[in-house]
């Protein structure tokens, strides 16, 4: 007698990179709860691709699929294509459109198994990762976030390091951007920090699409600026970095989950809710232009000088 195929689970999640990393503990809790099932993720295309094989995810799907948009129809039904797609899953956890009646009704009609709806960013006190765990009824599960990188990820990172003349453990990643300008420490401070860091380790600036205009400023100061890197490569670079310095951003969450130690600069957002999980030191000023380079440099020197000791983030 042939074994029956494993049940397929689907998590629908609309968030950006930092949100997804914060969801990581809940994803692992779901996988443990349904240990005989396979877990799949529907998210932004680049995040769905990244999560496969690295966050306990077996397959990824774009949240931009037509089958998703069709669930917002107000006729109370679901298209045959939606039935065909969502009917493949024995259990669905949706963190998307939980307050939209049409979506809830249509997804429930299209699915063949149980569907539960959860707030995208649950209200409450404490870290967002803990609130995600609470929302799925996993209150006692560990608040841990880690990424399982592949050999190919490290090979790609090694090629990047060779290109810029950096060695494992002898470089510091700098993340000068974020999803909001209000969360960014001024660029001139990052440039000054990179100059000082060069006396300790080689600084490497990681630039996303929104930071491409910063490339010339780093190059003028002989600081290598890397742009257009895939998330898996950034994570592998972070894993081999001596440390990182970044704003409250998705890439800072990514680096910490990859095992890097770092300094994370917070301004208007609350680090109690948003701080990356891992060995990070949080430096916060409500007015980011009031944060001096010397303060960040002091925290960085203390971090790179100490032995690795995973634990709770420290507020400075």
Domain match, 55 and 164 both: no
Q: From CA 89, how far away is CA 112, in angstroms rounded?
A: 7
Q: Do residues 22 and 256 touch, judged by C-beta distance below 8 A? A: no
In a domain, 140, yes or no: no
Q: Do residues 244 and 173 touch, judged by C-beta distance below 8 A? A: yes
Domain match, 97 and 161 both: no
Three-state secondary structure call for residue 42: strand
- DSSP letter for 14, please: -
Domain match, 112 and 260 both: no
Burial (CB count <10 Å: 0-12, 13-18, 19+), residue 192:
middle
pLDDT for 272 equals 96
In a domain, 143, yes or no: no
Q: How far is CA 79 from the centre of its chain?
A: 33
Q: Which of 85, 109, 135 is the last residue of a domain?
A: 135
In a domain, 92, yes or no: yes
In a domain, 256, yes or no: yes
pTM, rounded to two decimals: 0.92
170-191: pLDDT as tens digits:
999 999 999 899 999 999 999 9
Domain match, 158 and 131 both: no
Domain match, 166 and 304 both: yes
Q: Do residues 287 and 270 touch, judged by C-beta distance below 8 A? A: no
In a domain, 119, yes or no: yes
In a domain, 99, yes or no: yes
pLDDT for 5 equals 63
Q: Do residues 292 and 59 touch, judged by C-beta distance below 8 A? A: no
Domain that holds residue 66: 8-135
Domain match, 62 and 171 both: no
Domain match, 86 and 184 both: no
Q: Which candidate, 55, 49, 42, 149, places its Cα nearest to that of 95? A: 42
pLDDT for 76 equals 58
Domain match, 23 and 65 both: yes
The total number of structural domains that make up the chain: 2
Q: Which of 77, 108, 135 is the last residue of a domain?
A: 135
Instruction: Look at the alpha carbons of 46, 52, 53, 55 in this order and tell me if their dihedral is positive or negative.
Output: positive
pLDDT for 77 equals 62
Q: Which of 77, 101, 135 is the last residue of a domain?
A: 135
- DSSP letter for 277, please: S
In a domain, 141, yes or no: no
Residues in the chain with pLDDT < 50? 1-4, 307-316
CATH of the domain at 207: 3.40.50.2000
Domain match, 158 and 124 both: no
Q: From CA 309, how far away is CA 286, in angstroms rounded?
A: 28
Q: From CA 179, how far away is CA 26, in angstroms rounded?
A: 23
Q: Do residues 38 and 7 touch, judged by C-beta distance below 8 A? A: yes
Domain match, 162 and 309 both: yes
Domain match, 25 and 156 both: no
Domain match, 55 and 105 both: yes
């Amino acid at each position: 007698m042939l074994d029956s195929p494993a049940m397929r689970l689907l998590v629908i999640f609309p968030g950006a990179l930092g949100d997804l990393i914060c969801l990581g503990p809940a994803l692992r809790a779901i996988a443990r709860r349904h240990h005989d099932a396979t877990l799949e993720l529907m998210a932004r295309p680049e995040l769905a691709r990244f999560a496969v094989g690295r966050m306990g995810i077996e397959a990824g799907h774009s949240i931009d699929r037509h089958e998703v948009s069709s669930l917002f129809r107000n006729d109370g039904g679901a298209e045959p294509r939606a039935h065909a797609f969502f009917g493949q899953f024995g259990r669905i956890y949706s963190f998307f459109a939980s307050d939209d009646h049409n979506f809830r009704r249509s997804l429930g009609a299209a699915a063949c198994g149980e569907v539960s709806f959860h707030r995208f960013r649950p209200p409450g006190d404490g870290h967002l990762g803990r609130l995600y765990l609470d929302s799925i009824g996993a209150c006692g599960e560990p608040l841990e976030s880690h990424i399982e990188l592949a050999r190919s990820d490290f090979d790609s990172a090694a090629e990047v390091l060779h290109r810029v003349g950096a060695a494992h453990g002898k470089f510091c990643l700098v993340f000068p951007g974020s999803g909001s300008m209000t969360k960014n420490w001024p660029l001139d401070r990052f440039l000054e920090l990179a100059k000082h860091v060069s006396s300790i380790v080689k600084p490497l600036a990681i630039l996303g699409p929104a930071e491409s205009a910063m490339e010339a400023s780093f190059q003028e100061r002989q600081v290598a600026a890397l742009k257009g890197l895939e998330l898996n490569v950034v994570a592998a670079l972070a894993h081999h970095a001596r440390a990182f310095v970044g704003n409250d951003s998705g890439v800072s969450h990514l680096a910490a989950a990859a095992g890097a130690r770092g300094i994370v600069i917070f301004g208007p957002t609350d680090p109690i809710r948003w701080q990356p999980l891992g060995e990070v030191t949080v430096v916060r000023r409500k007015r980011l232009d009031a944060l001096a380079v010397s303060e960040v440099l002091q925290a960085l020197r203390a971090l790179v000088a100490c032995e690795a000791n995973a634990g709770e983030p420290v507020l400075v």
